[in-house]
A and B are shown apart, each in its own frame.
Chain A
Amino acid sequence: MKADVMPKPQNMFQAYMLLFLISSGQIGVGIFGFQRIVGMHSDHDAWISVIVAGIVSHIVVGLMFWILSKHESADLYGIHQHLFGRWIGNGLSMVMMVYYVMVSVTIVRTYIELIQSWIFPTFPTWVLSMTLLLLAWYGITGGIRLIAGLSTISFFVILFFIGTLYISPIKYASWSHLLPIGETSPWAIMKGTISMGLTISGFESIFYIYPYIKDKSNGAKYAQYSLLFSNIIYLFMMIMGIVYFSKGQLTRSIWASTSMLKIVKFPFLERLEYIASSVWMFVVIPGLMIYIWVLGRGFKRMMGWKQRMMTPIICFVIFIGSLISQDREHIHMLSTFTGRCALFVVFLYPVVLFLFQTLILGIRDQSDKKGAAE
């Protein structure tokens, strides 16, 4: 297998689509409850943690593009083989794929829990899980361009929802909750940043969709814009969480963002949180689809199995996975564990890979030169 992939031109998309793809990969179910987790660590300075996490993500994406730029049109599966050889390279890719399965399971299960706790308490998990995954499967058969199109919808749903619905809670804000700024120790802020891991991850798909970008030189620019967008959304939601709730109240609200909507009221519609959590499916599905698509690509690239065949199998595995954890404690453990893994896979691994690639390519260059000289 070569490191480079050359997709057909009709399957490729313009770089500006990254603007939607990346942010919709990042923003998903995490946005409903991350305030509590970050707030537990860094109190009223949690927004600083969010900014730090944002900056880190910008740097990591910068590194990712640096790694990719050393190849003509490669994805991570190819790079792994190119750098580490067939066995180790594929082994590494497999580890990544296990992580993506875990993330997909976490997304599905957390979203279902949200629906069950807020709207339909008796709704069986498997029905919702199946609905979500069937939709995802259906979408993925349309290819990456369709996923990008759906991401565009999700982008505007996010923009519209956050921009309109969270105006009312601002009226109930106590801005003094933010003061005094920077009281929390840097260590606590770091811990808060670390707990943002899973929430802010989702941009790792760049490693796989990179070959599909038509104008690759513009990719990095749009990816950074997209990150900036989601970081601003996260920052806004975090600040809202701090000023709308008091400290003790926030640590008790599992879905802080949904709870905030409980006070929004229209004459024709009283309980907006019902609508919001349902419409959020538009935001969750593209994120899920990207992961499943990446998994399917993995089988195609490494084993040569058809993606069309593999997608339903992957969906089935995720479906089974989503049925395992049933209660809150399990789900919390699952997302905490996936969050830990996200730190290594999403944030630390690109740095390590960057170092390895520079080293290995450097050595090969030298030996090439030697060979040429002899």
Chain B
Amino acid sequence: MTFRKLCLLLLVCCIFLTGCFDSSVILERLSISVAMGFDKKNDEEMVVTTVLLAALPEATEASQVLSVTADTSKGAKDKFDREVSRKLVSGQVRSIIYDRGLAKEGIMNIADTLSRDPAFGDMVYLMVSNESSEDLLHYKYTHFPNVGLYLGEMIDQNIELGWLMPSTIHYFRKRFYSVGIDPALPIIERKGSLLNVKGSAVFRDDRMVGEISAKESSYLTLVSNKIKPSSLQIVMKKDGLSKYIKHDTQRTPTVKVDLRNLNFSTSVKLVSAKDLQFEVNVKMDSELQEISADYHFSIPGAIDLLEREMKSHLEQELLAFFEHLQQLGSDPVGFGEIYRSSVRHSGLTKDQWRDMFPKAAFKTNVNIRLVRTGTIE
């Protein structure tokens, strides 16, 4: 064999030798963590729960849930190592759950730890659990095999439908480190043997200061998110619409309308920097999906009236929502960011905005256009 051929052979060997590098990471020899829960135990310690994918084919359960008490999240990892037979890896973690106790104290420390570690992706969802996350994760759900995977998918699809703000680590850190915008994370609760998104927790810096309902969460995405809610329910007083209601058989004093939102354009503007007045403009093209009264759509003016009623109702709802946020002292919409970006040399700091936000005034301007009423009138 010539020298050249030998060299070539060695080179080819080198290519395959790369497979020997770091051979401790083999899928069959890993415990893959898919979700983690953090609960406050006392001032010093927390309870950390992790949901593992069961890699053992002979296991009866599809997941394995472990809990340990630790004072740091990496300390918990060391304790988990003593409880599992295979190397614990966290590259597949999809959801991180905090209980209210920790969320109220501040979670930035844990969020930064996750971001510091390149093993975690930035698309990990953060959420707050209504009860302790230990209970939430340890419960034996009958409808799905692995609660960790289920949670991640659940949040994912809610974000895609525009019900929730994207609650990834990146999103949380981005908002924490910026002036005039606060994070909001979904609140998860267990309802019997199912899981449910209860609403959103709103934060001041990294501390949870209050919660908003699921409906308010959709208003939040409507005003500030790129993905807008896919449908909206509007509950109005019947009086204004009674003119066009045919047979008023129901006793309820309200009319409920369900809209599928086809097209949205939202803009938030700072109208006056001196008076700190914001104008929120919402323009939406919608399709009526359901109406709880027998409404005469064919009469001229009927649709106009309905649009007007819905408009004024939604405007008030949004105003009430902003007021609620002002009371809580949290600005997940990002009015502060709009202030900062529209006023030159504002030099806005977080503390300044904390004082200014409750004094802000809002004007809402909703424009609903009913494009269709479905396939029937």
Contact = CB atoms under 8 A, between A and B. Distances in A.
A273 interface: yes
Given A183-B344, A183-B345, A249-B173, A176 B179 contact: no
A179 B121 contact: no
Given A180-B341, A247-B178, A270 B121 contact: yes
Contact of A263 (B123, B177, B181, B337): B123
A119 B25 CA distance: 13
Given A180-B343, A248-B178, A271-B91, A118 B118 contact: yes
B308 interface: no
A325 to B, nearest CB: 21
A221 interface: no
A340 interface: no
Contacts of B190: none
Given A179-B341, A179-B342, A270-B121, A246 B22 contact: no
Contacts of B122: 259, 262-263
Contacts of B178: 177, 246-249
A249 B341 contact: no
Contacts of A180: 341-344
A249 B123 contact: no
Contact of B174 (A117, A120, A246): A246
B174 A249 contact: yes
Contacts of B30: none
B313 interface: no
Interface in A269-285: 270-271, 273
Contacts of B91: 270-271
A252 B177 contact: yes
A262 B121 contact: yes
Interface residues of B, number: 24
Interface in A140-189: 171-172, 174, 176-180, 183
Contacts of B337: 174, 176
Contacts of B195: none
Contacts of B22: 120
- Which of the listed residues B170, B176, B338 has the most CB atoms from chain A within 10 Å of its own CB? B170
A176 to B, nearest CB: 4
B175 interface: yes
A273 B168 CA distance: 17
Contacts of A306: none
A120 B22 CA distance: 9
Nearest to B171: A172
A352 to B, nearest CB: 38
A357 B344 CA distance: 47
A265 interface: yes
Contacts of B177: 245-249, 252
Contacts of A245: 174, 177
Interface string A221-249: 00000000000000000000000011111
Contacts of A273: 118
Contact of B338 (A171, A176, A259): A176
Interface string A117-138: 1111000000000000000000
A198 B337 CA distance: 33
B345 A172 contact: no
A127 to B, nearest CB: 10
A17 B344 CA distance: 46
Contacts of A265: 121, 123
Interface string B215-258: 00000000000100000000000000000000000000000000
In this complex, the interface size class of chain A, counting residues with CB under 8 Å from chain B, is: 20 to 34
Interface in A3-50: none
Contacts of B345: 183
Interface in B153-187: 168, 170, 173-179, 181
Contacts of A119: 118
Contacts of B175: 246
Contacts of B123: 262-263, 265
Contacts of A177: 178, 341
Interface in A250-266: 252, 259, 262-263, 265
A7 B14 CA distance: 37
Nearest to A182: B344
B341 A247 contact: no
A178 B342 CA distance: 11
Interface in B247-299: none
A134 to B, nearest CB: 12
B44 to A, nearest CB: 27
Contacts of A174: 174, 337
Given A174-B337, A179-B341, A262-B170, A271 B121 contact: yes
Contacts of B173: 246, 249
Interface string B322-355: 0000000000000001100111110000000000
Interface in A202-232: none
B118 A263 contact: no
A311 B22 CA distance: 32
A176 B341 contact: yes
A247 B344 contact: no
A179 B269 CA distance: 13
Which of A118, A176, A247, A259 is packed against the most chain B CB atoms within 10 Å? A176
Nearest to B112: A252
B118 A117 contact: yes
A68 B177 CA distance: 49
A287 B118 CA distance: 27
B117 to A, nearest CB: 10
Nearest to A253: B115
Contact of B170 (A120, A172, A183): A172
A245 B170 CA distance: 8
Contacts of A246: 173-175, 177-178, 181
Contacts of B168: 263
A330 B25 CA distance: 31
Contacts of A179: 341-342
Nearest to B120: A262
A328 to B, nearest CB: 12
A210 B179 CA distance: 50
23 contacts: A174-B337, A176-B337, A176-B341, A177-B341, A180-B344, A245-B174, A245-B177, A246-B173, A246-B174, A246-B177, A246-B178, A246-B181, A247-B178, A248-B176, A248-B177, A249-B173, A249-B177, A249-B178, A262-B122, A262-B123, A263-B121, A263-B170, A273-B118
Interface of A: 117-120, 171-172, 174, 176-180, 183, 245-249, 252, 259, 262-263, 265, 270-271, 273
Given A263-B170, A265-B121, 6 more contacts: A179-B341, A180-B341, A249-B176, A263-B123, A270-B121, A273-B118
| 5 shortest interchain CB distances as A-B pairs | A248-B177, A246-B178, A262-B122, A179-B341, A249-B177
